[in-house]
Amino acid sequence: MIQSNAFDLTEASTDNKLAREIQRYSQEQKESWRRIPYLALSADHRCGVLDTLATVYNKGLWGVGKKERSSYPMYVDLATGIIADPDHSLRRNVIVPARQEEVLILASHLDQIDAKKIVAGLEDLAKEHYSPDENAWRNQIRARLNLSEMYVRPSDWSYR
């Protein structure tokens, strides 16, 4: 079985238990996940290269897994840390946990759901490219989305 510093999976005897442990690991990082939309907006420089950051602050979702076409196989709900199904989350504004077989893909890629590491990367990126001239459009987006430093999911979304 897999051993991680974040949690011990040696006792996980079934795929179902392993998937639950991965979900739990992600959800335990809720406070770090909640920082990401604000930081993503700070790191977004409207250069086209970082277009996936717009999904982060507009939808409150962080893509995980291997990106295919224009979407990821899973997204982390940045309000709760739930690893979610993209079809419901992106199209219907409903957070539905990802299927077990999708979550299990992350067992050997836990760095993709290491929220503290992601936060640190966004903080570095925001500092590297920061320009005070960009504050106007950022402030407009923050106001439109009611985006604060600690993300809260808008009330027009639901959970299953």
Two tokens, residue 74: 């899973």
Q: Which domain covers residue 90, as residue numbers?
A: 15-153
On whether residue 149 sits in a domain, the answer given is yes
On whether residue 29 sits in a domain, the answer given is yes
On whether residue 1 sits in a domain, the answer given is no
pLDDT recorded at residue 87: 82
The model's confidence at residue 62, banded by pLDDT at 50, 70 and 90, is very high
79 close to 69: Cβ distance less than 8 angstroms: no
Write out pLDDT tens, residues 86-100: 887 777 889 999 999
On whether residue 6 sits in a domain, the answer given is no
pLDDT recorded at residue 51: 63
The model's confidence at residue 8, banded by pLDDT at 50, 70 and 90, is low
The secondary structure of the chain as a DSSP string is: --B-SS-B-TT--SHHHHHHHHHHHHHTTHHHHTTHHHHHHHH--SSSTTTHHHHHHHH-EEEES--BTTB-SEEEETTT--EE-HHHHHHHSEE-BPPHHHHHHGGG-GGGG-HHHHHHHHHHHHHHT--GGGHHHHHHHHHHHT--SS----TT-EE-
- From residue 38, give the alpha-carbon distance in Å to each of 10, 32, 90, 104: 36, 11, 19, 29
On whether residue 98 sits in a domain, the answer given is yes
On whether residue 104 sits in a domain, the answer given is yes
Burial class (CB in 10 A: 0-12, 13-18, 19+), 37: buried
Write the single-letter amino acid at 112: Q
On whether residue 159 sits in a domain, the answer given is no
Counted domains in the chain? 1
Write out pLDDT tens, residues 139-152: 889 999 999 999 99
pLDDT recorded at residue 45: 73
pLDDT recorded at residue 5: 54
What's the rounded Cα separation, in Å, for the pair 3 and 110?
11
